[in-house]
C-alpha cells in the first residue's frame, strides 16, 4: 500500500470522481463544438472545390458556355435562373391554372352530371301512376338541381372575371422577358399560344409555361440538378450537334474524356455556386446570351412529319407479320425502354396500345392505332403527349435506317402485347 500514489481509499474515490467528471466535460465540449467545427470544415472544403471548379471551367468550358457562364453561339447559358428552375411565372401561372382547370374541366363535368340527373327526374315525373309523395320529392330534387346549376353558372362568370387580370399580369411578365425569349427562352411559346387559340383550350399555354420555365422539367429529368450536371459532364450530350455547331463531348475519364471524378465534382460545385435561390431577377434572365435548344427544332416536328410519308410506311408495316419477341429486343436495344419504362421521360410502355386508341385517336382524324405509333417512331415530334417534351426522343430512327419496316412491325406487335 506504501507504493500507491494515493494510499487512502477516500483519495482514490475523489480522483475517480474527478476523472469521470473531466471526461464528461470533455465529451460535452466535443458534442457542443463538433457540429460547428465540421460545418466550418465543410464550408472550407466547398469553397476550395468551387475555386478548383472555376479554374477547370475557365480552361475547359468557358470557350463554349462563356466566361461568365451565360452562354453563346456554341452552347447554352448555365449561369441562368432557367437551369436552376426559378420560375418567375409560377405564382400567377398557378393561379391561372387552378381557375382554368375548374372552369374548363371540373365545372363542365359537374354540369353534365347535373343535367343528366335533371333529365332522369323529368323522365320519372312524366310516368303514370306516380304517387303524390314521390312527385313532391322529384319536384324538390329538380329545384335543388336547378339551384346547383345556377350556382355553377355564377361560378363560371366569377372565374372568368378573376382570370382577366391574371392573364394581364402574366402577359406583362412575359413582355418583360422579351430579351430572354429572343435568346431561346420558352422556345415553343408562340406555337402553344396558337394551339391554345385553335383548340379553344387556354390550359395548353398554361401547362406549357409550367413545364418549360425550368430546364429539368423541359427535358423531363427525373432526378435533381447536381445529377443532371454530373451526368452531362460524364457522358456529354449525344446528338447535341443537331442543334449546336459542335457536340457536347464526354469529359470524364470513365467515358474517354480527360477529367477525373473529383474534377467533375469540382465543376459541378462551381456551376451550382451560381444559384441565387429566390434572389434571381428578370434582369438575370434577360442577361443570358443563349438558352438551351430543343432537339428537333422548336416547332414540334410537324415539318419532319410532312417530309416523311408516314401513311405509306404504315401501309407497308401493317402488311407484315410482327414478332413481339423481336420487338421487345429492339425496344431494349434501341434505348426505348430506358425512357418509357415508368413513364418518367416518355409515356409508359404499359398501356401504350390502349391509350393510343382511347386518348390519342379521338384527336387525330383518319388515324389508326398503327399509323399513330409508326408516326410516333419515325417522326416523334409530330404529336407530343401533354406533360412531355418535344425533341427528347431521337429523330432519326427512320431517316438513318436504324429501323426497317419489319422492325416497326415487330415493335408494334410488342407494344400491342403490353396492352
pLDDT tens across the length of the chain (419 residues): 455 566 777 777 887 888 888 888 888 877 787 777 667 667 787 889 999 999 999 988 988 899 899 998 889 999 999 999 999 999 999 999 999 999 999 999 999 999 999 999 999 998 988 898 999 999 999 999 999 999 999 999 999 999 999 999 999 999 999 999 999 999 999 999 999 999 999 999 999 999 889 999 888 888 899 999 999 999 888 677 778 877 788 888 887 888 999 999 999 999 999 999 999 999 999 999 999 988 754 433 344 444 688 888 999 988 999 998 998 988 877 768 766 766 656 788 888 888 888 888 887 888 898 999 999 898 887 878 877 666 667 777 888 787 899 999 999 899 999 87
**Are 63 and 10 in the same domain?**
yes
**Claim to verify: residue 170 and residue 231 sit in the same structural domain:** no
Q: Does residue 390 share a domain with residue 317? A: yes
Query: Could you say which of 265, 293, 321 is where a domain stops?
Result: 293
Backbone angles phi, psi at 220, to 5 degrees: 55, 40
> In terms of C-beta density within 10 A (0-12 exposed, 13-18 middle, 19 or more buried), how is residue 189 classed?
middle
pTM exceeds 0.85 for this model: no
Residue 209 lies in a domain: no
**How many domains is the chain partitioned into structurally?**
3
Q: Is residue 267 part of a domain?
A: yes
In the prediction, which pLDDT does 12 show?
Answer: 74
Per DSSP, helices labelled H in 189-348 are 189-198, 203-212, 215-218, 225-235, 261-272, 282-286, 302-307, 310-318, 324-333, 336-340
Residues 6 or more apart whose Cβ sits within 8 Å of residue 64 = 72, 74, 75
247 and 148 share a domain?
no
Structural domain includes residue 190 = no
**Residue 156 and residue 102: Cα distance in Å, rounded?**
9
DSSP 8-state secondary structure symbol assigned to residue 241: G
Distance CA 159, CA 149 (A): 15
Supply the DSSP symbol for 242: G
Are residues 312 and 397 part of one domain? yes
pLDDT, position 176 = 98
Domain ranges, residue 103: 90-176
Position 183 in a domain: no
Do residues 335 and 394 share a domain?
Answer: yes
Residue 82: the pLDDT is 96
Residue 366 φ/ψ region, left for φ over 0, alpha for ψ in the -120 to 50 degree band, beta for the rest: left
Q: What pLDDT score does 203 carry?
A: 94
Which of 268, 293, 318 corresponds to the end of one domain?
293
C-alpha cell at 63: 470557350
Is the same domain home to 325 and 411? yes
Q: Do 317 and 373 share a domain, yes or no?
A: yes
Is there a domain that residue 66 lies in?
Answer: yes
The pLDDT of residue 305: 47
pLDDT at 169: 98
Amino acid at each position: 500500500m506504501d507504493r500507491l500514489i494515493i494510499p487512502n481509499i477516500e483519495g482514490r474515490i475523489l480522483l475517480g470522481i474527478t476523472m469521470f467528471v473531466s471526461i464528461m466535460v470533455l465529451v460535452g465540449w466535443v458534442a457542443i463544438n463538433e457540429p460547428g467545427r465540421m460545418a466550418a470544415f465543410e464550408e472550407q472544403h466547398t469553397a476550395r472545390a468551387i475555386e478548383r471548379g472555376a479554374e477547370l471551367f475557365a480552361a475547359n468550358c468557358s470557350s463554349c458556355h462563356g466566361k461568365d457562364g451565360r452562354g453563346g453561339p456554341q452552347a447554352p447559358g448555365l449561369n441562368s435562373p432557367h437551369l436552376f428552375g426559378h420560375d418567375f411565372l409560377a405564382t400567377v401561372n398557378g393561379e391561372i391554372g387552378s381557375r382554368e382547370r375548374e372552369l374548363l374541366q371540373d365545372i363542365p363535368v359537374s354540369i353534365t352530371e347535373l343535367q343528366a340527373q335533371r333529365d332522369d327526374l323529368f323522365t320519372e315525373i312524366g310516368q303514370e301512376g306516380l304517387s303524390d309523395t314521390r312527385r313532391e320529392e322529384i319536384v324538390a330534387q329538380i329545384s335543388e338541381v336547378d339551384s346547383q346549376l345556377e350556382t355553377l353558372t355564377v361560378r363560371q362568370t366569377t372565374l372568368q372575371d378573376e382570370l382577366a387580370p391574371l392573364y394581364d399580369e402574366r402577359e406583362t411578365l412575359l413582355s418583360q422577358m422579351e430579351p430572354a425569349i429572343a435568346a431561346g427562352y420558352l422556345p415553343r411559346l408562340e406555337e402553344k399560344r396558337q394551339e391554345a387559340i385553335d383548340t379553344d383550350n387556354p390550359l395548353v399555354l398554361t401547362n406549357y409555361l409550367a413545364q418549360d420555365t425550368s430546364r429539368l422539367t423541359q427535358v423531363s429529368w427525373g432526378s435533381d440538378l447536381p445529377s443532371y450536371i454530373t451526368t452531362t459532364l460524364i457522358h456529354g450530350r449525344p446528338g447535341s450537334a443537331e442543334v449546336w455547331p459542335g457536340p457536347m463531348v464526354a469529359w470524364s475519364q470513365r467515358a474517354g474524356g480527360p477529367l477525373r471524378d473529383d474534377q467533375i465534382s469540382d465543376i459541378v460545385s462551381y456551376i451550382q455556386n451560381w444559384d441565387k435561390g429566390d434572389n434571381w431577377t428578370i434582369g438575370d434572365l434577360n442577361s443570358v446570351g443563349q438558352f438551351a435548344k430543343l432537339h428537333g427544332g422548336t416547332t414540334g416536328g410537324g415539318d419532319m412529319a410532312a417530309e416523311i410519308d408516314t401513311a405509306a410506311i404504315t401501309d407497308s408495316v401493317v402488311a407484315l407479320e410482327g414478332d413481339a419477341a423481336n420487338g421487345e429486343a429492339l425496344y431494349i436495344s434501341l434505348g426505348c425502354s430506358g425512357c418509357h419504362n415508368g413513364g418518367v421521360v416518355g409515356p409508359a410502355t404499359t398501356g401504350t396500345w390502349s391509350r393510343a386508341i382511347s386518348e390519342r385517336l379521338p384527336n387525330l382524324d383518319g388515324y389508326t392505332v398503327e399509323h399513330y405509333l409508326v408516326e410516333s417512331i419515325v417522326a416523334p415530334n409530330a404529336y407530343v403527349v401533354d406533360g412531355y417534351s418535344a425533341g427528347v426522343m431521337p429523330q432519326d430512327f427512320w431517316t438513318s435506317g436504324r429501323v426497317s419496316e419489319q422492325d416497326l412491325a415487330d415493335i408494334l406487335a410488342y407494344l400491342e402485347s403490353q396492352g
